[in-house]
Structure 1
Amino acid sequence: MSQRRKFIRQSLLGSALFIPGVAASCAQTNEEKSHSGDKPLILSTWNHGLPANADAWAKLQETGSILDAVEAGVRNTEVDMENLSVGLQGLPDREGITTLDASIMTGDGACGSVAFVRQIKHPISLARAVMEKTPHVLLAGEGARQFAIAQGFPLEEEKLSPKAQAEYDKWKVTSQYKPIINIENHDTIGMIGIDAQGKLAGSCTTSGLAYKMHGRVGDSPIIGAGLFVDDEVGAATATGLGESIIRICGSFLIVELMRQGRTPQEACEEAVRRLISKNKDIKDIQAGFLAINKYGEVGAYAVHPGFNFAKATESGNILVDANSHFKP
């Protein structure tokens, strides 16, 4: 059995697993000792975060790069044929076309993203190419596709996956768009991580809301909305109805609240309260936030019950249910 599969299996059984080779290498400062976080640490949204975390952890052990880790982790979800909210197998827009968004960022401010891109299996890797090989942050649509071709990314056949096609055919009977909390709305995997030396990085990738208007872009590729990372403070990522998250620059807000002294949990809770205050019909809107500060302390909070996240440390890889503003 591979190390990655063993990591997932023992995590699901609730067993602790120590993975050697990725350990803190220097003595803690007095400031660090006053905090109770974990380093290294990888967090990702939803239960598909468990296998994503396992791949990320393996890559961190292999290369020592937290950037490599957060890219490798979400690449797992981008090709998971059981997942209908991330990758080319995801549910399409109203025209029956699957379009993808992704972003990636490191704690020194480097970032890249792609939006409304077609036929690319790994938009997260394309976002990294934007970050590392262009002077830009965001490429969209046909321009992002042309850049992908120039960088040697293969174009995939533009055809819905069997599951997505079946769901789309059912939707076309009425062609109505009515988001369903915690089903259609968890349309993302967001991942944030910190290495043993305190370097931070994050990634976010999605196929967007099912049956969206052609050309719609959510929060995931928008730096400061779906993802924000700062080595001096921490990192945050978001999931849920992208429009509601964009309205409050949710991930940037959380990092700035942590900069002002809030814990990750306090910052996530304040972001949810802010989101509720700025969005109508909140009973039909789900959004969740996930945060980590520079000490490896964690926060998570959602509008409604149902949001969970995966947490990987040297002790193992577990799924955690987040608290929410509205109770069951």
Structure 2
Amino acid sequence: MANRRNFIKTTAIASVAVALNAFGKKEDSETALVPKGTIRKPIVLSTWRFGIPANEAAWEVLKNKGRALDAVEAGVRVPEGDPNERSVGYGGRPDRDGRVTLDACIMDEYSNIGSVACLEHIKHPISVARAVMEKTPHVMLVGEGALQFALLQGYKKENLLTETSEKEWREWLQNSNYKPLVNIENHDTIGMIALDSNGNLSGACTTSGMAYKMHGRVGDSPIIGAGLYVDNEIGAATATGHGEEVIRIAGCHLVVELMRQGKSPQKACEEAVNRIIKLTKYRNKNLNDIQVGFIALNKKGEHGAYCIQKGFNYAKYDETGNNLLDANYFLK
């Protein structure tokens, strides 16, 4: 009788444990209805509204079973070359000295990385970053050295300060009030991550940084592990917003490591944002003045996005089409 009671007790406890475990997995998964083993590929994610045309270029590569690395480079080159986009590449707002300085990085499925920072006069810093990755023994080139390298690679030196951006800068000089707005109006980045048909991940990130920043300022965008990180065994993440806050927590590396620990891309993005919020409060800073957003993608093609406050959107292109989505946020 005692053995029977012990058996029933043990069985009941095990059943509860299994049920709780299943409940926890369901709660932490954004794809509970997706059949086990299903991988959504190809898929590409990118930050902000200019992610829509960027995704179109990336999808041209992905739909033909191209490499994710080629897709993300092709994708982010679109806003880099658009003079109407005021926070990336050609047409980007200058620093307080009137100089357009660009930052970019790229990472492939083999953990090859390349980066440029404070690069002037070159319209497509992402392609220079890829050349650093593929043609030098280094990871990052900056300033004059990055420009010299780009010119040696055959890139054309151009004036990137458009008439509109110059006019705005001269108006800003009247008061020189440096208070970046929290969303895309003043500063931002295109970050792009992709999973190709072969199941490989890559990412790219490029920006002109905060408008009217101090000359020489570099944010998170060209820093592997901060603005971008890819681990082909686990997933990829990229960030946007106030770069100083992302650097403070090595944001994208954190998101990927949280996915390694078993969190869904959505939960990983939320945890990274929560850490920034916690540190902001410790430092007695006003959270309303800060925006940071993350997007993440795992090897199953599951994705997530989260930010501090309302206003961050991102584009997703997969078999369902190319859609602009609003990220969930902390400050309600």
What per-residue deviation string (whole Å, max 9, x for no partner) do you get for residues 56-85 of structure 1?
A: 111223561111100000000101121100
185 and 229 in structure 1: CA distance in 2 versus 1, 3 angstrom threshold: farther
TM-score, length-scaled by structure 1: 0.87
Higher alpha-carbon deviation: 238-247 or 272-281: 272-281
Residue from 264, 287, 295 that aligns with 1:290: 295
Instruction: Give 3-state SS (helix, strand or coil) of 2:84's partner.
Output: coil
2:162 aligned with 1:161, yes or no? yes
Secondary structure of residue in 2 paired with 1:93: coil
Q: 1 CA distance for matches of 2:175 and 2:37?
A: 53
Q: Deviations over 1:261-311 (max 9, x none)?
A: 000000000000001112222210001000000100001000001110000
SS of alignment partner, residue 209 of structure 2: coil
Q: What does 1:188-267 correspond to in 2, within 5 Å?
A: 188-267=189-268
CA shift at 1:34, angstroms?
2.1
Whether the 8 Å CA contact 1:184–1:210 is kept in 2: the answer is no
Q: CA offset at residue 35 of structure 1?
A: 5.7
Alignment length, in residue pairs?
295
Q: SS of the counterpart of 1:303?
A: strand
Equivalent position SS for 1:165: helix
Aligned counterpart for 2:71 among listed residues 69, 77, 80: 69
Specify every segment of 5 or more residues in structure 1 that has no aligned partner in the other structure, as ranges: 1-31
Equivalent residue of 1:135, what SS?
A: coil
Q: Distance in 1 between matches of 2:252 and 2:228?
A: 5
**Structure 2 counterparts to residues 266-285 of structure 1, below 5 A:** 266-279=267-280, 280-285=285-290
Stretches of structure 2 lacking an aligned partner (at least 5 in a row)? 1-33
SS in 1 for 2:278: helix
Dislocated runs of 4+, deviation >4 Å: none
Contact 1:88-1:99 at 8 Å conserved across structures: no
Determine which structure has more spread, i.e. the larger CA radius of gyration.
Answer: 2
Distance 2:314 2:90 in 1: 23
Q: 1:37 to 1:275 in 2, by over 3 A?
A: farther
- Which of residues 37, 40, 54 is equivalent to 1:38? 40
Q: Contact 2:65–2:197 at 8 Å: present in 1 too? A: no
Alpha-carbon spacing, 1:129–1:256, altered in 2? closer, same or farther (3 Å): same
Q: Which moves more between the two structures, 121-130 or 32-41? A: 32-41
Taking a change above 3 Å as real, the CA distance of residues 187 and 34 of structure 1, as seen in their structure-2 partners, is same
Within 5 Å, give how 1:109-124 maps onto structure 2: 109-124=111-126
What residue identity is the alignment partner of 1:94?
R
- Superposed displacement of residue 198, structure 1: 1.1
Identity among equivalent pairs (%): 60
Q: Deviations over 1:10-58 (max 9, x none)?
A: xxxxxxxxxxxxxxxxxxxxxx942665210000000000000000111
TM-score normalised by length of structure 2 = 0.86
Take 1:259 and 1:185, find their aligned partners in 2: how far apart are those partners?
A: 34
Q: Distance in 2 between matches of 1:319 and 1:100?
A: 26
Alignment CA distance shift 1:108-1:185 (3 Å): farther
Seen in structure 2, the aligned counterparts of structure 1 residues 228 and 58 have a Cα distance that, compared at 3 Å, is: same
Separation in 2, partners of 1:210, 1:170:
13
